[in-house]
Amino acid sequence: MIAYINSAAFQIDQAETLDPLSYRVILLARDEALRMGPPRGVLGRAWQWFVGNVEVARPLANARLDMLRQFATLVWLGDEQAASLEQTILNKGHYSAGQLGIARVLSQA
Give domain limits for the chain: 2-108
pTM, to two decimals: 0.70
Q: What amino acid occupies position 97?
A: A
Q: Is the pLDDT score of 83 beyond 90?
A: yes
Percent with pLDDT over 90 in the chain? 38
SS percent in the chain: helix, strand, coil, step 5: 75, 0, 25
Using the Cα atoms of residue 29, residue 31, residue 34 and residue 37 in order, give the sign of their dihedral: negative
- Greater confidence (14 vs 45) lies with 45
Can you give the pLDDT at residue 84? Answer: 94
**Residues 25 and 72 sit within 8 Å (Cβ to Cβ):** yes
Mean pLDDT value across residues 35-42: 65
43-61: burial string, b at 16+ Cβ within 10 Å, e else? eeeeeeeeeeeeeeeeeee
Q: Is the pLDDT score of 47 beyond 70?
A: no
